[in-house]
C-alpha cells in the first residue's frame, strides 16, 4: 500500500492477474517444474492479456503503465504459486530498448513486442570468467562495414529457446584502450532466429530452478550494424540504467513469494494435528511464521518507496531499489524456511509445492544481482565507505 498510487487501479490489476493465474494452478507449475519445461501456455496467456506489454507506451501498442503497476503483475504471479521468472525478462529487456533504442528500432520492435508477435525474453551479460565483474567481459563485437562480428562466450543466459531476440553486451573497444573500464562496451539487439546455427551455439545448463538457462558460444556471428542500440561504447551505462527498475520488480516478485509461503505455512499450521492439537498452537511453530510476515511487510514498504521514487524520476530511486531488493529477497527466503520447517517432512514432498517455491525464491539472493553486491553498493554509495573493487 502506498498513498501515492491509485489503490483502486492497482486492485483491478491484481484481480485481473489473479484471475488469469487461477487457470494455471499448482499442478500446472509442478508439472512444468518436473518436466524441466517452460510454461508456454501461461506465457502466451499473459502476453495475449496484455500484461507483458504493461510498460510499453500506448503509442507503441502497450498499456503505458508505470513501475508500480508492473510490480503488482509480477508479485501476483508469484503469490499465486507461479514463477514470474518465466516472464520478467520481457519487461526488463523492453526497457533497455525503450530508453536507449533509436526511433526506428522502437517503431519496429515495440508494437511487435506488445502484441506478442516477437519475444524479447533474453539478455546476455554474464560471462564465465568475468562473473560479477562485468567490465572484464571478453565477448567482442568488431565492426566490419555494415556488420558487427561477435566472438566470445556467455553463461547463464535464460529463456533463449523461448525468445526471438536477445540484448547482448559485448566489448567494442578493448579494455586496455579505454579511459574508464566501464567505457567501450556496447549493446546489440540480436535476432536469435537468424543467429542460432550461424555463429551462435546454445548449450543448456541443467540447474536447480529449470530456468531454461544456457551457455552461449559466439564464433564469428555476423549481425547487421543497425542492431546496435544507442551509441557505441555506452552499453554498460545503458544496462545500469535499467537496473533500478529491474531490482524493484524483483523485490515485488519476492514479496509475492513471501506471501505465498506465509499463507501456505499458516494454513498447514492450523490443519496439521500432532500431540492432539494443531501444530500452530505451539509458539515454536507460530513465531517463525510471524517473524517472516513482519519482514515481508517491512520489505513491501521499501518496495513501494522504490516504485514511487522511480515513477517520480527521483535520483534516490537507485538506493531505494537496491534496498528493496535486498530486504525482499531476504524476507522471502526467511518465509520459505519457515514454511519448509512448518511442513516438517511433507515440505520435501513435491506435491506440496513448498520445495519447488523454496528453490525458486533462493535464486533471488544470487541473480540477477547477488546480495553482497547490494551491500557493497550501500557501503560505498550511501555510507561513503572506501571502494573495495
Ligand atoms: C538461474 C539463473 C539465471 C540467470 N539468468 C541470467 C540471464 O538471463 N542473463 C545474464 O546475463 N545472467 C544471468 N544469470 C547470471 C547471474 O546474474 C549471475 O550468476 C550473478 O550475477 C552472479 O554472478 P556469478 O555467478 O558469476 O558469481 P561470481 O561473480 O563468481 O560471484 C560468486 C559469489 O562471490 C560473491 N562476490 C564476488 N565478488 C565479490 C566482492 N567483490 N565482494 C563480495 N562478494 C563478492 C558474489 O556475491 C557471489 O555470491 C543467471 C543466473 C542464474 C543462476
Cβ of 88 below 6 Å from ligand 1: no
Calculate how far, in angstroms, residue 282's C-alpha sits from the geometric centre of ligand 1. Answer: 39
**∠ CA 38-90-26, rounded to 5°:** 35
246 and 198 in a common domain: no
Instruction: Using the atom order of ligand 1, give the atom closest to the CA of residue 213.
Output: 3
Give the residue from 173, 202, 233 where a domain finishes. 233
% residues pLDDT > 70 (the chain) = 100
% residues pLDDT > 90 (the chain) = 95
* Mean pLDDT, all residues of the chain: 96
Count of structural domains within the chain: 3
- Residue 94 is part of a domain; what is its CATH number? 1.10.540.10
Cβ of 374 below 6 Å from ligand 1: no
Residue 149 backbone phi and psi in degrees, to 5: -110, 125
Instruction: Answer yes or no: is 324 within a domain.
Output: yes
309 and 297 in a common domain: yes
d(Cα 84, Cα 52) in Å, to the nearest integer?
11
Cβ of 132 below 6 Å from ligand 1: yes
Query: What was the pLDDT predicted at 1?
Result: 64
**E strand intervals along the chain:** 122-124, 140-144, 147-158, 165-171, 185-191, 200-205, 213-224, 228-229, 273-274, 277-278
Instruction: Answer yes or no: is 1 within a domain.
Output: no
Instruction: Using the atom order of ligand 1, give the atom closest to the CA of residue 131.
Output: 26
d(Cα 266, Cα 342) in Å, to the nearest integer?
9
d(Cα 305, Cα 369) in Å, to the nearest integer?
20
Whether the Cβ atoms of residue 331 and residue 295 lie closer than 8 Å to each other: yes
241 and 208 in a common domain: no
Instruction: Answer yes or no: is 242 within a domain.
Output: yes
360 and 274 in a common domain: yes
β-bridge partners, 158: 213
Instruction: Answer yes or no: is 294 within a domain.
Output: yes
Instruction: Give the residue carrying C-alpha cell 522471502.
Output: 332
d(Cα 71, Cα 14) in Å, to the nearest integer?
10
d(Cα 371, Cα 160) in Å, to the nearest integer?
26
Instruction: Answer yes or no: is 221 within a domain.
Output: yes
Instruction: Answer yes or no: is 273 within a domain.
Output: yes
Cβ of 158 below 6 Å from ligand 1: yes
241 and 378 in a common domain: yes
Say which DSSP state 234 is in: B
Cβ of 207 below 6 Å from ligand 1: yes
Query: What was the pLDDT predicted at 317?
Result: 93
Any residues with CB less than 8 A from the CB of 70 and at least 6 apart, and which?
54, 55, 91, 249
d(Cα 190, Cα 141) in Å, to the nearest integer?
12
CA distances from 45 to 69, 72, 293 (A): 18, 17, 31
261 and 133 in a common domain: no
Q: pTM (2 decimals)?
A: 0.97
CB count within 10 Å of CB 65 equals 21
d(Cα 220, Cα 201) in Å, to the nearest integer?
11
How confident is the model over 16-72, as pLDDT tens digits?
Answer: 999 999 999 999 999 999 999 999 999 999 999 999 999 999 999 999 999 999 999
- Residue 338 is part of a domain; what is its CATH number? 1.20.140.10
Mean pLDDT in residue range 306-329: 95
354 and 243 in a common domain: yes
Give the residue from 191, 212, 233 where a domain finishes. 233
270 and 198 in a common domain: no
372 and 253 in a common domain: yes
Instruction: Answer yes or no: is 387 within a domain.
Output: no
Mean pLDDT in residue range 381-389: 95
DSSP helix/strand/coil, 252: helix
34 and 13 in a common domain: yes
Asked whether residue 258 carries a pLDDT value surpassing 90, the answer given is yes
Provide the terminal-to-terminal Cα distance of the chain, rounded to the nearest Å.
37
Instruction: Answer yes or no: is 72 within a domain.
Output: yes
* pLDDT-based confidence at residue 162 (cuts at 50, 70, 90): very high
Give the residue from 183, 204, 233 where a domain finishes. 233
Q: Which domain, by its residues, includes 133?
A: 122-233
Element (H, E) at 374: helix 371-377
Instruction: Classify residue 3 by burial, with Cβ atoms within 10 Å: 0-12, 13-18, 19+.
Output: exposed
270 and 316 in a common domain: yes
- Residue 139 is part of a domain; what is its CATH number? 2.40.110.10
How confident is the model over 208-234, as pLDDT tens digits?
Answer: 998 899 999 999 999 999 999 999 999
**∠ CA 82-83-87, rounded to 5°:** 120
Calculate how far, in angstroms, residue 209's C-alpha sits from the geometric centre of ligand 1. Answer: 15
Calculate how far, in angstroms, residue 28's C-alpha sits from the geometric centre of ligand 1. Answer: 29
Chain length of the chain: 389
* Closest alpha carbon to 71 in 297, 260, 303, 241: 303
142 and 130 in a common domain: yes
DSSP string over 58-87: GGGTS----HHHHHHHHHHHHHTT--GGGT
Amino acid at each position: 500500500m502506498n498513498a501515492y498510487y491509485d489503490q483502486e487501479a492497482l486492485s483491478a490489476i491484481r484481480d485481473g492477474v489473479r484471475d488469469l493465474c487461477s487457470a494455471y494452478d499448482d499442478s500446472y507449475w509442478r508439472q512444468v517444474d518436473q518436466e524441466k519445461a517452460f510454461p508456454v501456455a501461461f506465457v502466451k496467456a499473459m502476453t495475449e492479456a496484455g500484461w507483458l506489454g504493461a510498460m510499453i507506451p500506448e503509442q507503441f501498442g502497450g498499456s503505458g503503465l508505470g513501475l508500480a503497476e508492473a510490480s503488482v503483475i509480477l508479485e501476483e504471479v508469484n503469490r499465486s504459486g507461479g514463477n514470474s521468472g518465466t516472464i520478467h525478462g520481457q519487461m526488463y529487456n523492453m526497457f533497455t530498448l525503450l530508453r536507449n533504442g533509436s526511433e526506428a528500432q522502437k517503431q519496429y520492435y515495440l508494437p511487435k513486442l506488445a502484441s506478442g508477435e516477437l519475444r524479447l525474453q533474453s539478455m546476455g551479460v554474464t560471462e564465465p570468467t568475468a562473473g560479477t565483474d562485468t567490465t572484464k567481459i571478453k565477448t567482442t563485437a568488431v565492426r566490419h562495414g555494415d556488420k558487427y562480428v561477435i566472438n566470445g562466450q556467455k553463461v547463464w543466459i535464460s529463456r533463449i529457446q523461448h525468445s526471438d531476440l536477445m540484448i547482448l553486451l559485448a566489448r567494442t573497444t578493448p579494455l586496455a584502450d579505454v579511459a574508464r573500464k566501464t567505457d567501450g562496451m556496447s549493446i546489440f539487439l540480436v535476432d536469435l532466429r537468424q543467429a542460432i546455427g550461424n555463429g551462435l551455439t546454445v548449450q543448456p545448463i541443467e540447474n536447480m530452478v529449470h530456468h531454461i538457462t544456457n551457455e552461449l558460444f559466439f564464433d564469428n556471428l555476423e549481425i547487421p550494424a543497425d542492431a546496435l542500440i544507442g551509441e557505441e561504447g555506452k552499453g554498460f551505462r545503458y544496462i545500469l540504467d535499467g537496473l533500478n527498475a529491474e531490482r524493484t520488480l524483483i523485490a515485488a516478485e519476492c514479496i509475492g513469494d513471501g506471501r505465498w509461503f506465509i499463507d501456505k505455512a499458516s494454513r498447514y499450521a492450523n490443519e496439521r494435528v500432532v500431540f492432539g492439537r494443531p501444530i500452530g498452537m505451539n509458539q515454536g511453530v507460530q513465531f517463525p511464521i510471524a517473524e517472516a510476515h513482519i519482514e515481508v511487510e517491512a520489505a513491501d514498504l521499501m518496495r513501494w518507496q522504490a516504485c514511487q521514487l522511480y515513477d517520480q524520476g527521483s535520483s534516490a530511486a537507485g538506493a531505494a531499489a537496491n534496498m528493496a531488493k535486498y530486504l525482499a529477497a531476504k524476507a522471502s527466503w526467511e518465509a520459505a524456511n519457515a514454511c519448509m520447517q512448518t511442513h516438517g517432512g511433507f515440505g520435501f514432498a513435491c506435491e506440496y509445492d513448498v520445495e519447488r517455491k523454496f528453490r525458486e525464491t533462493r535464486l533471488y539472493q544470487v541473480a540477477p544481482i547477488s546480495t553482497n553486491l547490494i551491500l557493497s553498493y550501500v557501503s560505498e554509495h550511501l555510507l561513503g565507505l572506501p571502494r573495495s573493487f
